Amino acid sequence: MNARLKLGKEKALELASAAEHIIVAKGKKRVDFSMQEEPPDEETLLSHMLGRTGNLRAPTLVLGETLVVGFNQALYESLFE
């Protein structure tokens, strides 16, 4: 996918609806959402997934049933061990 493509809340919600687990990384913090057990409300989910401009935060990865939004080095190291 073109890295310059701006994805808004509709695409963020589409990606989230297809995931069973969402991990959002912001700096050293990490927030996990279980879309099967305790799905968050739309406002909470979007507040974590979208940046200040209203676009989906980068990088965004789909790994099987898991959606990973944002970057945290320790998280990425654990995902790709």
pLDDT tens digits, one per residue of 40-76? 999 999 999 999 999 999 999 999 999 999 999 999 9
Cα gap 35→2, rounded to integer Å: 27
Please tell me the total count of domains within the chain.
Answer: 1
> 78 Cβ partners below 8 Å, 6+ apart?
none
Q: What is the domain range of residue 36?
A: 9-79
Instruction: Indicate whether 32 belongs to any domain.
Output: yes
| H-state helical runs in 30-79 | 42-49, 73-79
Cα gap 29→44, rounded to integer Å: 16
Whole-model pTM above 0.85?
A: yes
Q: Sorting pLDDT into bands at 50, 70 and 90, what band is 32?
A: very high
Instruction: Indicate whether 2 belongs to any domain.
Output: no
